[in-house]
Amino acid sequence: MASKGKKKRQLRRRKSLHVRACLRGTSERPRLSVFRSHTNIYGQIIDDESGRTLASASSRDKDFRDSLSGKKSEIATKVGAQLATKAKAAGVTKVSFDRGPYRYHGRVQALAEAAREGGLEF
């Protein structure tokens, strides 16, 4: 019999794959993938055709970690803006948004909206 934690991981993985089945990161339109833990949030822009990460930002980055304070959604907004800046530097303007197993709400929504304001097109 599967433990409660194992079943939870399996359901989360299944939900991620269900969302990701519709998305595919290409060189013209890479995938913006979001991972959210209890304390931190991470964003990556991935080209699935070549298997490369073009840009990434998180609330754990060294140059960013010291200036973080406030609510988690405010931190996610800062991470989204930083990710948009790094993506522009890498020459990316259009992305497909991959929310993973998370609902488009709260921190995930804050990161996405900040990335849009930073110049990324979803």
76: CATH = 3.30.420.100
- Which of 9-23, 49-63, 100-114 is predicted with the least confidence, judged by mean pLDDT? 9-23
Distance CA 32, CA 89 (A): 15
Residue 122 lies in a domain: no
1, pLDDT greater than 70? no
36, pLDDT greater than 60? yes
Number of folded domains that form the chain: 1
pTM: 0.82
Average of per-residue pLDDT values in the chain: 89
Among 37, 39, 44, 18, smallest CA distance to 97 is for: 44
Residue 94 lies in a domain: yes
Residue 52 lies in a domain: yes
Q: Read out DSSP for 51-115?
A: TEEEEEEETT-HHHHTT--S-HHHHHHHHHHHHHHHHHHTT--B-EEE-TTS-SSTHHHHHHHHH
Tens of pLDDT, residues 58-112 = 999 887 777 777 889 999 999 999 999 999 999 999 999 998 888 999 999 999 9
